[in-house]
Amino acid sequence: MKNQFQLRKDYDLESDVLWLSIEDDYNYRESIGIGNVILDFDENCIPVAVEILDASKVLNLSKNSLKKDFNVKMDISVDEDLIAIHAQFAFPNKKQIPVEKDFKTVNDIHLPSREVGMVIGEF
């Protein structure tokens, strides 16, 4: 069964960091790094937040675009061997092409298998 969560976002223009987290309260457990992405898990090993360092470079978007409203859809899957994030960023009422990114790493911390969907806006 796939958990679905609404996200909130925060972007720090100066440090170029995009932070996306679920709106629900959670108890932080640990983080893993996937290149320029940091994925946080709660005490139940559920992915609850994503931090993208150097976000404008990673997403190939202007910092100004990241300051404005945009929609996000993320599918995060954890299995015995792999942790994978598929992210889509869309800009309503803009002619900007949606951005899709995939991030993957080995599940070497033995997180239990699960699938999580996260969203801001509509897709």
Query: Could you tell me the residue range of the domain that residue 64 belongs to?
Result: 2-120
pLDDT of residue 90: 92
For the chain, what is the domain count?
1
Whole-number Å distance between alpha carbons of 28 and 11: 20
pLDDT of residue 2: 75
Residue given tokens 């910092």 in the structure block: 63
H/E element, 100: strand 99-106
Q: How far apart are the first and last CA of the chain?
A: 21
pLDDT of residue 120: 93
Look at the alpha carbons of 5, 24, 12, 76 in this order and tell me if their dihedral is positive or negative.
Answer: negative
pLDDT of residue 1: 57
| Ranges of residues in the chain whose predicted pLDDT is under 50 | none
- Do residues 2 and 117 touch, judged by C-beta distance below 8 A? yes
Whole-number Å distance between alpha carbons of 88 and 73: 5
pLDDT of residue 95: 74
